[in-house]
Amino acid sequence: MKLFNERSAIVEYGKKLLVSQLTTGSGGNLSIINREENLVAIKPSGVDYTLMKPEDVVVVTPEGKIVEGDLTPSSELRFHLALLQARPEMNAVIHTHQVYATTIACMNWELPAVHYLVGFSGNKVPLAKYATFGTQELSENIVSAIGQYNACLMANHGIVTVGREIGAAFAVAEELELVARLYYQTKCIGEPAILSDEEMVIIGEKFKTYGQRK
């Protein structure tokens, strides 16, 4: 089986999306590129995460040609491949409809630095303009909006995150859901205080040395 490790990771993290309440049913999608083999593993379209097996995960070329797998790849294959091409330092993409981030996206707002954990994305989470799912227009909007950020909101749709590996992309999605919830809740009370870009530069530097280092 090609890309067994990557396909297994997509199954594992698909279930983690459910457990963490970042998606429901078969919603959202995940992909991982193996740059040595120049192949991408991506979730199949419409398959429930609780039922998905490694062999169900589809393997495609960076151009989208199916190399292995009997199922149809995610309807969002186009923007997964575009992001992996545009961001060669990143090897995984996650897209979800997680409730609080999607709420902000449905307001057509960016997610500002209401909490320093927005630093998982950058100094904010930018917003990609709305386009119909699965289209070239949506792919272009996402690549344009995300730039060098690790995430962007998708207007009236959801959120997409990138990471050097799938665990990092998952962490971005999880932490930004907390930030989106805080932003929603503070907006319910009044106008939240937003951290400055200067402070977020400091946060970004501190994040580089956060956690355990080999």
Q: Mind listing the pLDDT tens digit of every residue in the chain (214 residues)?
A: 999 999 999 999 999 999 999 999 899 999 999 999 999 999 999 999 999 999 999 999 999 999 999 999 999 999 999 999 999 999 999 999 999 999 999 999 999 999 999 999 999 999 999 999 999 999 999 999 999 999 999 999 999 999 999 999 999 999 999 999 999 999 999 999 999 999 999 999 999 887 666 6
Handedness of CA 175, 178, 180, 182 (dihedral sign): negative
* Per-residue model confidence (pLDDT) at position 175: 98
In a domain, 189, yes or no: yes
Helix (H) or strand (E) segment spanning residue 26: none
Q: Is 41 in contact with 57 (CB distance < 8 Å)?
A: yes
* The predicted structure's pLDDT at residue 208: 85
Q: Is residue 214 part of a domain?
A: no
Looking at residue 56, what DSSP letter applies? G
Q: Residue 169 belongs to what domain range? A: 4-207
Does a structural domain hold residue 170? yes
Look at residue 103 and tell me if it is in a domain.
Answer: yes
Residue 212: the pLDDT is: 66
Specify the CATH number for the domain of residue 190.
Answer: 3.40.225.10
Residue 83 included in any domain: yes
Nearest partner of 159 among 23, 12, 15, judged by Cα: 23
Q: What is the pLDDT of residue 213?
A: 62
Q: Pick the catalytic residue: 6, 55, 68, 76?
A: 76
Between CA 187 and CA 210 the distance in angstroms is: 30
DSSP element (H, E) containing 38 = none
Could you give the C-alpha distances from 208 to 7, 90, 120, 201, in angstroms and in order? 29, 16, 11, 11
76 is catalytic: yes
Report the pLDDT value the prediction gives residue 210, as an integer from 0 to 100: 75
Q: Identify which of 35, 15, 17, 49 has the alpha carbon closest to the alpha carbon of residue 158.
A: 17
Q: How many CB atoms lie within 10 A of CB 60?
A: 22
At 43 the pLDDT is 98
Q: Is residue 212 part of a domain?
A: no
Structural domains counted in the chain: 1
- Is 56 domain-assigned? yes
